């Protein structure tokens, strides 16, 4: 294993779980930024901008090491409207009710900063939610799990299992599209293993995104 660490500008447990699939040691810093969208800002532009801001803030926090820093940001969009994290349990219920039985899109921006070099990638995944019952929804909201998640759900939650199917990257829906991270790192000449097999094994899926990128 290579000894030089990469910095992830996030303390999200889900993102930490996913970057562990690379063959490099990681360190973690918290990069809190204002995540409010600008007027008329498109979802893709928002996540790209915020991922870069987080990576740049992380780079300042670890200076002068000049270690590569990854920033990431994700947003859930339904009918063109951006859905953030719920304010409370009632808001989580409202969001889940809006998403139930419908398709929405998860956008993630990933930026790698190394010194003056910057590489940003965008991932988009279409998610179809199943027709979960009111009782299932209430039980899930009562766990508190939705409260720190955009769109008020976790695709990987074993008890709720809210998603019927997806088109695109499942790791993206969890908050960190690993193939896109890999491609951004590779574009800057930063050596890591391609995450395709490890990611698919870890998530228990067959991924078409890795094949699309030739990984």
The pLDDT tens digits of the residues spanning 151-190 come to: 999 998 989 999 999 999 989 999 899 999 999 999 999 9
**pTM (predicted TM-score):** 0.90
- The residue among 129, 184, 116 whose CA lies nearest residue 155 is 129
48 pLDDT exceeds 90? Answer: yes
91: its two tokens: 């808001």
Bridge-based pairing state of the strands 81-83 and 6-8: unpaired
Domain ranges of the chain: 6-212
52: its two tokens: 């870069």
Bridge-based pairing state of the strands 6-8 and 117-129: unpaired
What distance in Å separates the CA atoms of residue 113 and residue 59, rounded to the nearest whole number?
Answer: 7
φ/ψ of 69, rounded to 5, equals -125, 130
Catalytic (active-site) positions: 73
**In this predicted structure, which of 9-18, 149-158, 173-182, 199-208 has the lowest mean pLDDT?**
199-208
What distance in Å separates the CA atoms of residue 41 and residue 45, rounded to the nearest whole number?
Answer: 6
DSSP 8-state secondary structure symbol assigned to residue 169: -
Residues 6+ apart with CB under 8 A from 116: none
Q: How far apart are the first and last CA of the chain?
A: 20
The pLDDT tens digits of the residues spanning 51-72 come to: 999 999 999 999 888 899 999 9
- The residue among 56, 171, 166 whose CA lies nearest residue 108 is 171
Do 115 and 127 touch, CB atoms closer than 8 A?
Answer: no
- Mean pLDDT of all residues in the chain? 91
DSSP letters of 38-59? PTT--HHHHHHHHHHHHHHHHH
DSSP 8-state secondary structure symbol assigned to residue 75: E
Residue 109 burial (C-beta neighbours within 10 Å; 0-12, 13-18, 19+): buried
Bridge-based pairing state of the strands 81-83 and 69-78: antiparallel
| CATH entry 3.90.950.10 includes domain 6-212 | yes
Count CA atoms closer than 13 A to 187's CA, side-chain side. 15
Span 17-29, average pLDDT: 89
């Amino acid at each position: 294993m290579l000894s030089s660490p990469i910095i992830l500008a996030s303390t999200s447990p889900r993102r930490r779980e996913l970057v562990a699939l690379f063959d490099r040691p990681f360190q973690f810093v918290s990069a809190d930024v204002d995540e409010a969208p600008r007027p008329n800002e498109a979802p893709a532009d928002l996540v790209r901008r915020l991922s870069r801001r987080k990576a740049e803030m992380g780079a300042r926090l670890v200076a002068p090491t000049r270690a590569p820093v990854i920033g990431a940001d994700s947003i859930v969009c339904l009918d063109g409207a951006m859905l953030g994290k719920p304010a409370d349990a009632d808001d989580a219920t409202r969001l889940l009710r809006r998403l139930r039985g419908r398709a929405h899109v998860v956008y993630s921006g990933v930026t790698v900063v190394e010194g003056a070099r910057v590489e940003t990638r965008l991932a988009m995944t279409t998610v179809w939610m199943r027709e979960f019952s009111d009782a299932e929804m209430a039980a899930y909201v009562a766990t508190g799990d939705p409260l720190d998640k955009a769109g008020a759900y976790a695709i990987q939650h074993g008890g709720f299992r809210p998603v019927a199917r997806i088109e695109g990257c499942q790791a993206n829906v969890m908050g960190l599209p690993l193939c896109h991270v890999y491609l951004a790192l590779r574009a800057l000449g930063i050596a890591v293993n391609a995450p395709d097999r490890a990611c698919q094994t870890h998530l228990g899926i067959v991924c078409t995104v890795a094949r699309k990128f030739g990984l």
